[in-house]
Structure 1
């Protein structure tokens, strides 16, 4: 289809769209708006990918028609695919790696190393129970081949966490934490604005009148997804799989009755706390880290599986992201109680900072 024909169809389509929407009752317009938009995109795509496959040759005069006027060339429709060019397995691995990282900060791996040492030296009163057998098997087979140094390099590459030296030539996700905080506060701000909008506006169609910046959430989510994808190649997937299985096994091991009895503990987390205080110089915010691990992993999984379509129906977006609102607020509440999060300025100022918007002088934020 020629460029002139396509241009004419675009103008006629807009007129047709206005006339059709004006003829529909207000309560039915929203139902058809997105369908019209999708149909328009399909028409443009099919028009560009039709019979005119040698348009570039026609443009330079090497086609079968010889030199062709601009108006007679086919429309150069280019399919946008940048936001879809990610590897889902890498993004899911990053979500699991974040969960593992928070348990690393809780000293879980160090606690297990201490238990192995105490078991080997005979300084822990266990011998034949399930915990003793589990420690024996860990010591015998050493199932975790990735050392602490390997894990620290992975955290540095994927999240820019820690002080490990990144390998030469590796891509480090420099802005991960800033983008993660930005996404959390954007989701939180979206639902706070939505609540304010519902209270202020009211009306019969209150549930159909969302308020809040969908674009902000989508933009930060896309940036976060792209940055994670480009820095999690290599051994991140295999490291996450192996370390994740190891972490699951040692958490079950810490819950063994003979190990809990040896430390006069009621739960595995009591074991972690007692061992950390006694041998590792203190506990490391287990309550906050556990919540950040849970909610952070869920948010990253949501980012990995969501295409953040620009023209999404606001009501559909609201329904899709609603479960993430609670996770975002829970993550922020836990983050503010950690050493690195105690300087958190609040949802609105943090969002302004992420978006590069400066507060007006003298304004109260």
Structure 2
């Protein structure tokens, strides 16, 4: 189909859409709006591909009829696919790696190393229980091949966390923390605005009138998934899988009854706290890190699996993202209690910073 014909379709479509929606009652328009937009995209795509030949050849005069007029050239419709050009397995591995990182900050791996040393030196009164057997197997097989340095390099590459030197030539996700904080506060702000809109506007269609900014959440989410995708190649997937299984094993080990008894502990987290205080210079905010690990992983999984389509129905988006609202608020609340989050400026200033809105300079 020629460019002129396609241009005519575009002009007439807007008139057609306006006339059709005007004939429908307001409460019936919404189900058709998304269908009309989808159909418009299909028409444009079909118009560009209907001839089955390369319009560029016609443009330069290599077609059957030589060089045609401009208005006879096929419409150059280009399928947008940038936001879809990610590797899902890498994004899921990044979500697991984030969960592992928070447990690294909780000193779980260091606690296990201390237990292995105490067990080897005979400074812990266990001998034949499940905990003793688990420590023996860890000593014998050393199942975790990725050392602390390997993990720290992975954290640096994927999240720009830690002080490990990134390998020369490796892509480092330098904006991750800024983006994840921005995404958390954007989701939180979305539901806060939605609540305010429902209170102020009222009416019978209260649940169908979202007030929050969908575009803000989508924009930061797309940036977050793109940056994670380009920095989590290489061994990140294998490291996250192996270290994740190891973390699961050692958490079960810390819950062994003989190990808990040896430290007069009721739970595995008591063991972590006692060992950290006695041998590692103090506990590392396990309550906040545990919540950040849980909610952060869930949010990153959501980002990995959501394509953030621009023309999504706001009501559908609201339903899809609603479970993430609680996770975002929980993550922000926990983050503000950590050493690096105590300078958190608040939801609105943080969101403005991520979006590039200039902040007022105090005199």
Note whether the superposition's TM-score is higher than 0.5: yes
The match for 2:151 is: 151
CA distance in 1 between partners of 2:134 and 2:47 (Å) = 65
Which ranges in structure 1 are unaligned for 5 or more consecutive residues?
Answer: none
2:53 is the counterpart of 1:50: no
The match for 1:240 is: 240
SS of the residue aligned with 1:328? helix
2:54 is the counterpart of 1:40: no
The correspondence of residues 199-210 of structure 1 with structure 2, limited to 5 A, is 199-210=199-210
Shift of 1:362: 6.8
The match for 1:352 is: 352
Runs (4+) of structure 1 exceeding 6 A deviation are none
Shift of 1:204: 1.3
The match for 1:336 is: 336
CA RMSD for the aligned pairs?
Answer: 1.0
8 Å CA contact retained: 1:52, 1:74: no
SS of the residue aligned with 2:139? helix
CA distance in 1 between partners of 2:175 and 2:362 (Å) = 29
SS of the residue aligned with 1:337? coil
The match for 1:139 is: 139
2:24 is the counterpart of 1:24: yes
Shift of 1:52: 4.3
The correspondence of residues 164-203 of structure 1 with structure 2, limited to 5 A, is 164-203=164-203
8 Å CA contact retained: 1:102, 1:293: yes
Count of residues in Structure 1 that have an aligned counterpart in Structure 2: 363
Give CA deviations for 1:145-187 in whole Å, capped at 9, x if unaligned. 0000000000000000000000010000000000000000000
SS of the residue aligned with 1:324? helix
Shift of 1:358: 2.3
Shift of 1:54: 2.4
Shift of 1:51: 1.7
CA distance in 2 between partners of 1:198 and 1:53 (Å) = 52
The correspondence of residues 214-293 of structure 1 with structure 2, limited to 5 A, is 214-293=214-293
Shift of 1:311: 0.5
The match for 2:13 is: 13
The match for 2:112 is: 112
Shift of 1:212: 1.1
The match for 1:86 is: 86
SS of the residue aligned with 1:325? helix
SS of the residue aligned with 1:171? coil
The match for 1:124 is: 124
Which stretch shifts more, 352-361 or 199-208?
A: 352-361
Shift of 1:44: 0.7
CA distance in 2 between partners of 1:175 and 1:112 (Å) = 32
Which ranges in structure 2 are unaligned for 5 or more consecutive residues?
Answer: none
CA distance in 2 between partners of 1:202 and 1:255 (Å) = 51
